Structure 1
Amino acid sequence: MTDPARNTLPLPGYDHLPIGGPESRIRSLSAGEVEEILVHERSHADRFPVTELLTARLERLRAGAEPTSGDPGAPRPEQGAGRTGSPVSPATSPQPFSPPPHGTPDRFGKPKGDRT
């Protein structure tokens, strides 16, 4: 069952943010909004680094700090349209090299010489 509070949190998609995700996003939130997220975090995932971050930000706001720039709806880097897959292709692969001295399944290794 979906929790309706998840759709009303001040940070869109909060439950899908990685641990480092909220840090830059909470800067623009008021003390009440940070407290709302903190209550949600404690009652759901209760991730220690996130609760510490939220608690510290809430204390700073209550001590007189003002919300600063930050965009709660900023695109999440984990959902970016970055490159996926390997950048290696046949065009960028190195040329084949000689087989290792111990051989390969289709080529026998060469003896090292007379060892005494």
Structure 2
Amino acid sequence: MTDPARDALPLPDYDHLPIGGLQSRVRSLSTAEVEELLAYERTHADRLPVTEVLTTRLDQLRAGAEPTSGDPGALRPEQGEGRRGSPVSPAASAHPFSPPPHGTPDQRGRPKGDRREP
């Protein structure tokens, strides 16, 4: 079941945007659109970092800032065509290790033998 208020928001998939993506994408919105997002946020999740981003942008718009060009429908940063694969090079990766000498849950340790003090 979808929320009609969520479907009408100016940013598609708003609930799943990371803070960095929200900060960049909210710049393309008008004062009324930011107010709409802020009202939705306060009545739903009311996440403090998100309300701070929206309130800051709303203050900027009310102080005379203009919406910048941008595409509110652009890909989210985590879905972009950026880097793929591990950012760690083989030279910087951790060395392989052996299980501890006392064994692992699937491989019990072997007794060391009879150790008596002289």
Question: Residues 86, 24 of structure 1: CA spacing in aligned structure 2 closer, same or farther, 3 A cutoff?
Answer: closer
User: Could you tell me which amino acid in structure 2 is paired with residue 4 of structure 1?
Assistant: P
Alpha-carbon distance in 2 for matches of 1:45, 1:62: 25
Alpha-carbon distance in 2 for matches of 1:76, 1:52: 20
- Extract unaligned runs of 5+ from structure 1: 89-93, 106-116
Question: Residues 21, 86 of structure 1: CA spacing in aligned structure 2 closer, same or farther, 3 A cutoff?
Answer: closer
Alpha-carbon distance in 2 for matches of 1:49, 1:67: 21
Aligned-pair Cα RMSD in Å: 3.5
The aligned counterpart of 1:75 is 75
User: Could you tell me which amino acid in structure 1 is paired with residue 75 of structure 2?
Assistant: P
Matches within 5 A, 1:28-107: 28-80=28-80, 83=84
- Extract unaligned runs of 5+ from structure 2: 90-94, 108-118
TM-score by length of 1: 0.68
Identity %: 68
TM-score by length of 2: 0.67
Bigger helix fraction: 2
Alpha-carbon distance in 2 for matches of 1:65, 1:21: 19
User: Could you tell me which amino acid in structure 1 is paired with residue 67 of structure 2?
Assistant: P
Question: Residues 87, 52 of structure 1: CA spacing in aligned structure 2 closer, same or farther, 3 A cutoff?
Answer: closer
